[in-house]
């Protein structure tokens, strides 16, 4: 049984003020994760919410030569290191771009490169180690802050990281759960509707709606709830992206220009229209930083620019059954 706090006639817990900072889609960026952890104190909010797509998309192997030097190919360039300082410069450049480093002898790199299974096992292990380091950092920094912290995966995140997220003593892994964010009920879901990239957590719209429905039906007061749903609602202005050809992942052009289309979820839009939560938070579409109203619900996507080292977020202030205000921020 979940313990609930007394609500006044305006919803929320006794009409008290509550503020949160939401961000998403940092894709392995160490710098963005550290900024996320620091955002609570900086913006003086009650809660931090990370909306998914935590992990990077690639491993950069660095070949360890018999003579003690190192070599790798990164962003189209061959980079060499003759000492630890030069090696660290390469590592820092890779991590800045949200990718992972694997240092190994050339024979081992070739062995793994020849096996799909070995590549998958290596990727999962590196992700678990890196997310574990992030969770440890959060547990060291947040306990004395008085700030709640909620984290979930996104559609791009492999299943290997879920059990690591559960280890956090201060971070709440909120995916597919009803949790309390201060006085507010919050549901969260990491899945997305199908994408051209066939990412780990995708469902067709009917199955996606059923997942949302099962969560929403557990809410005691949907009108004062928060929906933390990784994918934005369809045709909302939060989901506009360049159309991709699923056969070769090339950009579709019309009249010589990239063709922009809505790519969000009809299931997300339907569940928001039906339950009309106070606030809906979304990520997934990096280039679409916007806020809109769907009925009475304020829906927000702060966008993402993780590979620049800058974290996009939004501060939302709530009081009772009202959104008092919101502000997009970049750190």
Query: Which position has the token pair 């360049």?
Result: 242
Q: Is the pLDDT of residue 9 over 60?
A: no
- What is the predicted pLDDT for the residue at 14? 56
pLDDT, one tens digit per residue, over 250-268 is 999 998 899 999 999 999 9
CATH number (3.90.550.10, 3.40.50.1010, 3.30.310.10, 3.60.21.10) of 17-56+126-330 reads 3.60.21.10
Beta strands in the chain (DSSP E): 17-23, 47-50, 59-64, 70-74, 77-81, 100-105, 148-151, 171-173, 178-181, 184-189, 226-229, 240-242, 253-254, 257-258, 260-262, 279-281, 290-294, 297-301, 312-319, 322-330
Judge contact between 283 and 252, C-beta under 8 A: no
pTM to 2 decimal places: 0.92
- What is the predicted pLDDT for the residue at 76? 87
- The whole-number average pLDDT for the span 265-280 is 98
- The whole-number average pLDDT for the span 223-227 is 98
Domain definitions of the chain by residue range: 17-56+126-330, 59-122
Q: Is the pLDDT of residue 125 over 90?
A: yes
- What is the predicted pLDDT for the residue at 3? 34
Which has the closest alpha carbon to 151: 130, 172, 135?
172
- The whole-number average pLDDT for the span 225-237 is 98
Any residues with CB less than 8 A from the CB of 248 and at least 6 apart, and which?
none
pLDDT, one tens digit per residue, over 75-87 is 888 999 999 999 9
pLDDT, one tens digit per residue, over 308-318 is 999 999 999 99
Q: Is the pLDDT of residue 8 over 90?
A: no
| Angle ∠(59,27,214) on CA atoms, nearest 5 | 120
| Residue bearing the bigger pLDDT, 16 or 43 | 43
Mean residue pLDDT of the chain comes to 93
Query: Which position has the token pair 């190919």?
Result: 73
pLDDT, one tens digit per residue, over 141-175 is 999 899 999 999 999 999 999 999 999 999 999 99
Give me the percent of the chain exceeding a pLDDT of 90.
90
Q: Classify 205 as helix, strand or coil.
A: helix
pLDDT, one tens digit per residue, over 37-69 is 999 999 999 999 999 999 998 999 999 999 999
- What is the predicted pLDDT for the residue at 16? 83
Question: Predicted confidence band at 10 (pLDDT cuts at 50, 70, 90)?
Answer: very low
């Amino acid at each position: 049984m979940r313990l609930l706090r007394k609500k006044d006639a305006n919803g929320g817990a006794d009409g008290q003020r509550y503020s949160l900072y939401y961000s998403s889609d940092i894709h392995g960026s160490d710098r963005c994760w550290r900024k996320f952890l620091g955002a609570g104190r900086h913006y003086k909010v009650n809660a931090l919410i990370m909306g998914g797509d935590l992990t990077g998309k690639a491993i950069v192997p660095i070949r360890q030569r018999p003579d003690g030097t190192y070599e790798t190919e990164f962003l189209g360039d061959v980079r060499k290191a003759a000492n630890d300082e030069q090696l660290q410069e390469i590592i820092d450049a890779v991590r800045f771009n949200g990718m992972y480093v694997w240092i190994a002898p050339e024979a081992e790199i070739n062995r793994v490169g020849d096996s799909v299974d070995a590549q998958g096992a290596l990727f999962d292990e590196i992700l678990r180690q890196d997310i574990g380091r992030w969770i440890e950092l959060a547990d060291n920094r947040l306990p004395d802050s008085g700030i709640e912290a909620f984290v979930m995966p996104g559609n791009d995140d492999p299943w290997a990281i879920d059990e690591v997220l559960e280890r956090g003593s201060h971070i709440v892994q909120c995916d597919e759960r009803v949790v309390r964010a201060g006085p507010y009920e919050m549901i969260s879901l990491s899945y997305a509707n199908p994408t051209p990239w066939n990412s780990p957590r995708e469902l067709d719209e009917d199955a996606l709606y059923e997942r949302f429905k099962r969560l929403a039906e557990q809410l005691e007061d949907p009108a004062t709830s928060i929906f933390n749903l990784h994918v934005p609602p369809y045709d909302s202005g939060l989901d506009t992206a360049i159309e991709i050809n699923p056969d070769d992942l090339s950009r579709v052009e019309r009249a010589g220009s990239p063709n922009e289309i809505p790519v969000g979820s009809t299931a997300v839009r339907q569940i928001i229209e039906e339950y009309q939560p106070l606030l809906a938070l979304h990520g997934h579409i990096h280039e679409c930083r916007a806020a809109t109203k769907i009925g009475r619900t304020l829906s927000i996507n702060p966008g993402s620019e993780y590979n620049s080292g800058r974290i996009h977020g939004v501060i939302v202030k709530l009081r009772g059954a009202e959104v008092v205000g919101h502000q997009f921020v970049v750190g």
